[in-house]
Structure 1
Amino acid sequence: MNNSVLETLNFYMTDLVQVSSENLKQIARNCCNLTSLKISHCEILVLVGFFSAAAALEEFCGGSFTNEQSDRYNAMTFPPRLCRLGLTYMASRELPIVFPFASLLKKLDLINVLFGTHDHCLLIQQCPNLEVLETRNVIGDRGLEALARSCKRLKRLRIERGTDELRMGNEDGVVSHTGLTALAQGYLPLDNGVRALLRGCEKLRRFALYLGHGCLTDVGLGYIGRYSPNFKWMFLGYVRGSDTGLLEFSKGCPSLQKLEMMGCCFSEHALAHAALQLPSLRYLWVQGYKASLQSSRDLLAMARPFWNIELISARRVVTTNQVGEAVELEHPAQILAYYSLAGPRTDFPDTVIPLDLLL
């Protein structure tokens, strides 16, 4: 009560269920920096005074809606900075109280609300700035489709199975591959971000991009090529684009001399033609690609004077981990190509095979 520097107060899911609204109001008045409150099941109407006093509050979780006169909730107002919200036992009839500030929400926890699929759609459409959503399977495919259309800034999605799932029957409140596909197609998580970065950082000369699986599309690869006129060196890891994206990328990067790629799964045909289209390329290293069934003949498309091409076949290596156990590691196939006026090197190990020896 006398703490004036409190910023976070959390007794959610504890035995502290007898909450004094007057005490909370006093805390809000004393602690002008209180930004987060998470409480147990407390009738939301008794918190009106607290919300009025907590001007700096950004996060609220908990509360409950037990009053049978639902119209009383219409007069509820929340703190002006509130952007992270997790309400409990809210039903469809109370949903409109969130609409006035829904556009400000960045995080929304709907795990413990009593919403159906339609309610999810109504609320999600009002939250264009949403970054984190936690909910149950009842969101359904329609809810995920609404999420893909309306929440382009989404960074994290958590969907739990609810205890009411077995009672849904044939309702549309079940998540399937249809909804997940719509969600995935609605996001190009890094394409536009990479474009903005490259357009805003014109003095960059070296660029490394190491991603999670599927975080960049062919569109993003095309952006990298188009907006990288001065790059000398580039590393691309797990960008997961297709051959089309690689060839689009290679139409740009006029100054690129050294290109390294890992886990990108491009074909030998696309790699060879991309190397030919990059006019300043002097060095190419690729680990993890789609090897052809014709002794890598597709790589011959990039053959030229003083351009050496070496292959390292995929192999499995047994090593010892930190607890002394033997583990098997897979080393993906690799391609190394480089210019040398001195001709092919002769000091390579047995694992390295010059391409011309395979033909």
Structure 2
Amino acid sequence: MAYSFPEEVLEHVFSFLRSDRDRNAVSLVCWSWYEIERWCRRRVFIGNCYAVSPEIVIRRFPKVRAVEMKGKPHFADFNLVPEGWGGYVQPWIRAMAASYPSLEEIRLKRMVVTDESLDLIARSFKHFKVLVLSSCEGFTTDGLASIAANCSNDSVARLRFSRTSNNVSTTKLLNLREIDLRESEVEDLSGHWLSHFPHNCTSLVSLNMSCLGSEVNFPALERLVGRCPNLRTLQLNRAVPLEKLPNLLHRAPQLVEFGTGAYSAEIRPDIYSNVAEAFSVCKQLRGLSGFWDVVPAYLPAMYSACAGITSLDLIYAAIQSPDLVKIISLCPHLQCLWVLDYIEDAGLEALAASCKDLQELRVFPSDPFEAEDNVALTEQGLVSVSEGCPKLQSVLYFCRQMSNAALITIARNRPEMVRFRLCIIEPQAPDYLTLEPLDTGFGAIVENCKELRRLSMSGLLTDRVFEYIGKHAKKLEMLSIAFAGDSDMGLHHVLSGCDSLRKLEIRDCPFGDKALLANAAKLETMRSLWMSSCLVSYGACKLLAQKMPRLNVEVIDERGHPNSRPENCPVEKLYIYRTVAGRRVDMPDFIWTMDKNAGSPEVL
């Protein structure tokens, strides 16, 4: 059967396979399918930039048009990965610039991106369209200016003469559609980078600059927005004042997603009426975010846009529960809500009553370091949402108390749950009603939610909960654990029982050598394992490297070389991942990769 269709037909059939897993499976059918899939693959996802080298990717897929890549481990979001750890994108950009001249999209997460990298992107890819830098660092607005300056709708490259020679050089111009800087750390030198977009740039569809700190060149922003008729997403930064919003909205009434800047101003009727009128003309709005420094008196100005809203991101908006209740009641089609704990139980009850299409809920702490409760948010709010929102599939919930009874109720109400992340502010907090561990509650989650893919746990937990996870969570792909468990048996249950597990991250748990070495083969089927402040010894790390040569076993220890301490001394942090690229070549002086032959750390 593998040879019964012409290559062109198979290429067309393969184009309907969207997931990397399906494409990989197809490539294993036979050699001819492998070759066809190799040449027609246009998108590549790299979950760990150190799991493979640029050269291997380019050799395997020579015609790629879009690359998505992740760098630092997820725990970097919680400041658990040391400064200078790595995740540098420059080697990748350099290699792709030489081999992928038709590259159109680069999407990076938790990577170090320099201005040099951005300049190389701007100069190398004449058909470039999409740049997404999520939680990235290392670059400035000068790098963004390079991207902007090379943006044009021209389909052919213009010619220019060098002032110092008679050589003719080609300026490769971009047809840029998307710049997204979500949650990135950008050295904001000035807002004038927007003025570098040429006057013939009309191609932008999405612009997210919400993470920038300085004032923007507002006339340049107005001109850019006004000449991009297909602009659908505009996310402003905090420096854009409320009185400027009407001008932007009138220039882009076609917006689908809009992130306001500062939503505050001196109370003036003219500002209010201008903002209200501007929102009323945006008939296609489906997503709203921003609302920094919100002045509640101006909130009714956006009510006219609420009827069509499906997504609300209010994690930077200190909106109190009564105002949130009003907004939510006006959004009957809401599918995704990100909000601070100011929403309280009353707001979540209103959400459950009004928003029957809700699929995702994230509730973040307004002040995680406050010792006393400053809001009336408990487990009851989440129980209400689980009862009232039949389509709920994804939850991230920060709170200060939880009970087994509540977790059991949530599990029974929403067995379709795919992602469940519960963060109790106080580590090792028990069931506040019975003072028992939360084992049975989380056990109910994994037993009832058969499609669960991602789980984060907190509170007082024993090895018993990991037994439940190993027994029931057969589709679980990512598990995050903190301050949990009694012994190595907890880790053993997870590694031996979770068939689909790909990413495991652990901190401050009593897991050590025995479970890790006994389940070494499992680690080759996973993308990565992160352990910090656990009981894994340096000696076990060396043994694991010898036992599993296809793994990179990296010891991260800022106290100095691990050889300076006994081999049974626990390491500070451990990062294990499968790789076909061998050991890293950019390790800082606090990382040691275990030698796969002798078991000792390799040193550059």
Please report the TM-score for the alignment, with normalisation by the length of structure 2: 0.32
1:152 to 348, 356, 374: 356
Give the aligned partner of residue 82 of structure 1.
285
Show CA shifts across 1:252-287 (max 9, x none).
Answer: xxxxxxxxxx959xxxxxxxxxxxxxxxxxxxxxxx
Give the aligned partner of residue 379 of structure 2.
177
Q: SS of the counterpart of 2:523?
A: coil
Whether contact under 8 Å (1:70, 1:94) holds in the other structure is: no
Offset at 1:35? 0.7
Offset at 1:53? 1.3
Q: What is the root-mean-square deviation in Å for CA atoms of aligned residues?
A: 3.4
Q: Distance in 2 between matches of 1:17 and 1:89?
A: 16
Whether contact under 8 Å (1:137, 1:175) holds in the other structure is: yes
Q: Distance in 2 between matches of 1:73 and 1:97?
A: 6
Whether contact under 8 Å (1:120, 1:143) holds in the other structure is: yes
Whether contact under 8 Å (1:59, 1:84) holds in the other structure is: yes
Larger Rg: 1
Confirm or deny that 1:140 pairs with 2:344: yes
Whether contact under 8 Å (1:188, 1:216) holds in the other structure is: no
Give the letter aligned to residue 188 of structure 1: P
Q: Describe the shift of the 1:19–1:62 C-alpha distance in structure 2 as closer, same or farther (beyond 3 A).
A: farther
Give the aligned partner of residue 300 of structure 2.
96
Kindly indicate whether structure 1 or structure 2 has the higher relative contact order, using CA contacts under 8 Å at least 6 residues apart. Answer: 1
Show CA shifts across 1:143-195 (max 9, x none).
Answer: 1101111111111111111139849x777x3320111111111122389xxxx
Give the aligned partner of residue 322 of structure 1.
523
Q: Distance in 2 between matches of 1:165 and 1:319?
A: 38
Give the aligned partner of residue 32 of structure 1.
229
Q: Distance in 2 between matches of 1:159 and 1:321?
A: 34
Offset at 1:74? 3.1
Offset at 1:84? 0.7
Whether contact under 8 Å (1:74, 1:96) holds in the other structure is: no
Q: Distance in 2 between matches of 1:131 and 1:36?
A: 18
Give the letter aligned to residue 448 of structure 2: R
Structure 1 segments, 4+ long, off by >6 Å, are none
Offset at 1:141? 0.4
Q: Describe the shift of the 1:154–1:48 C-alpha distance in structure 2 as closer, same or farther (beyond 3 A).
A: same
Q: SS of the counterpart of 2:243?
A: helix
Structure 1, unaligned stretches of length 5 or more?
A: 192-211, 218-237, 242-261, 265-287, 289-316, 327-359
Show CA shifts across 1:271-314 (max 9, x none).
Answer: xxxxxxxxxxxxxxxxx9xxxxxxxxxxxxxxxxxxxxxxxxxx
Offset at 1:75? 2.9
Offset at 1:99? 1.1
What is the 5 A alignment of 1:225-236? none
Q: SS of the counterpart of 2:337?
A: strand
Q: Distance in 1 between matches of 2:213 and 2:392?
A: 43
Q: Distance in 2 between matches of 1:19 and 1:43?
A: 12
Whether contact under 8 Å (1:190, 1:216) holds in the other structure is: no
Q: Distance in 2 between matches of 1:120 and 1:164?
A: 20
Give the letter aligned to residue 321 of structure 2: T
Number of equivalent positions: 214
Give the aligned partner of residue 73 of structure 1.
272
Give the aligned partner of residue 7 of structure 1.
205
Q: Describe the shift of the 1:114–1:91 C-alpha distance in structure 2 as closer, same or farther (beyond 3 A).
A: farther
Whether contact under 8 Å (1:138, 1:165) holds in the other structure is: no
Q: SS of the counterpart of 2:448?
A: coil
Give the aligned partner of residue 203 of structure 1.
none
Q: Describe the shift of the 1:108–1:318 C-alpha distance in structure 2 as closer, same or farther (beyond 3 A).
A: closer
Offset at 1:120? 1.1
Q: Describe the shift of the 1:19–1:106 C-alpha distance in structure 2 as closer, same or farther (beyond 3 A).
A: farther
Offset at 1:16? 4.0
Q: Distance in 1 between matches of 2:367 and 2:472?
A: 40
Q: Describe the shift of the 1:318–1:8 C-alpha distance in structure 2 as closer, same or farther (beyond 3 A).
A: closer
Show CA shifts across 1:292-344 (max 9, x none).
Answer: xxxxxxxxxxxxxxxxxxxxxxxxx9672235599xxxxxxxxxxxxxxxxxx
Identity of matched residues, %: 24
Q: SS of the counterpart of 1:320?
A: helix
Offset at 1:114? 2.7
Give the aligned partner of residue 188 of structure 1.
390
Structure 1 stretch displaced more, 115-124 or 10-19: 10-19
Offset at 1:134? 0.9
Offset at 1:108? 0.7
Give the letter aligned to residue 227 of structure 2: N
Q: SS of the counterpart of 1:45?
A: helix
Confirm or deny that 1:53 pairs with 2:271: no
Q: Describe the shift of the 1:66–1:186 C-alpha distance in structure 2 as closer, same or farther (beyond 3 A).
A: closer
1:43 to 237, 241, 246: 241
Give the aligned partner of residue 365 of structure 2.
161
Give the aligned partner of residue 448 of structure 2.
240
Q: Distance in 1 between matches of 2:263 and 2:391?
A: 36
Show CA shifts across 1:183-219 (max 9, x none).
Answer: 111122389xxxxxxxxxxxxxxxxxxxx965448xx
Q: SS of the counterpart of 2:316?
A: coil
Please report the TM-score for the alignment, with normalisation by the length of structure 1: 0.52
Give the letter aligned to residue 356 of structure 2: K
Q: Distance in 1 between matches of 2:349 and 2:392?
A: 20
Offset at 1:129? 0.7
Q: Describe the shift of the 1:69–1:189 C-alpha distance in structure 2 as closer, same or farther (beyond 3 A).
A: closer
Q: Distance in 2 between matches of 1:126 and 1:239?
A: 36
Q: Distance in 1 between matches of 2:523 and 2:384?
A: 42
Whether contact under 8 Å (1:91, 1:114) holds in the other structure is: no
Whether contact under 8 Å (2:357, 2:390) holds in the other structure is: no
Q: SS of the counterpart of 1:321?
A: helix
Show CA shifts across 1:110-140 (max 9, x none).
Answer: 1122311111111111111111111111110
Q: Describe the shift of the 1:176–1:29 C-alpha distance in structure 2 as closer, same or farther (beyond 3 A).
A: same
